[in-house]
A and B are shown apart, each in its own frame.
Chain A
Amino acid sequence: KNEVEQSPQNLTAQEGEFITINCSYSVGISALHWLQQHPGGGIVSLFMLSSGKKKHGRLIATINIQEKHSSLHITASHPRDSAVYICAAQKAGNQFYFGTGTSLTVIP
């Protein structure tokens, strides 16, 4: 049983499309993280959310605490957005649960 589930596992989009990646979790959390991992393994932390919505450039992350669900949106997608996007649920304290990631490919 995975504490964090992501969907879809794989996603291919045309450049310019609006993209949504979903994350559901089953544990009580203090924060929800969205991470981006490029080929070669480098990980970048995109967002840390405990409620509501955050926006950074073309990226938007939302969380619904009651429904235990978060979404990552990418507007006007670009090939450089191609990466694996990982959702991570952080419990109070410092225990983390990671999803297996969504592999996004944006085609020019």
Chain B
Amino acid sequence: GAGVSQSPRYKVAKRGQDVALRCDPISGHVSLFWYQQALGQGPEFLTYFQNEAQLDKSGLPSDRFFAERPEGSVSTLKIQRTQQEDSAVYLCASSRAGVEETQYFGPGTRLLVL
């Protein structure tokens, strides 16, 4: 595709439910990043993949958050037992090679936990 795509665009979950957010990076992009953006705030780094390897997960806020990229392309961010404070926009970005390259952002998934 022409750009980074994310699905779903909107997700409403009841507190305690598990959710899975998908990111399709630009074809051939090696690096993939996940960010969390709360309302009125800048994005905050969650985790980073280079191909299928998760090189940094220091930004994941708790062990309820889990990300994977098993074949080095599509990535899934999973949140278990969602809490209201998980409500945010989850942004995915990809870049051609390492972290020194320009990142291309997806439209984000807006998650609302009731």
Contacts and interface: CB of A to CB of B under 8 A. Distances in A.
A86 B43 contact: yes
A95 B35 CA distance: 11
B66 interface: no
Interface stretch (A12-20, A71-79, A97-105): A97-105
B103 A45 contact: yes
Interface residues on B, range: 20 to 34
Contact of A30 (B43, B91, B100, B103): B100
Contacts of B41: 98, 100
A33 B107 CA distance: 18
Interface residues on A, range: 20 to 34
Interface string A1-39: 000100000000000000000000000001101010000
B102 interface: yes
A57 interface: no
Given A94-B48, A94-B55, A42 B42 contact: no
Contacts of A88: 42-43
B113 interface: no
Interface string B16-44: 00000000000000000101010011111
Contacts of A45: 93, 102-105
Interface of A: 4, 30-31, 33, 35, 40-45, 48, 86, 88, 90, 93-101
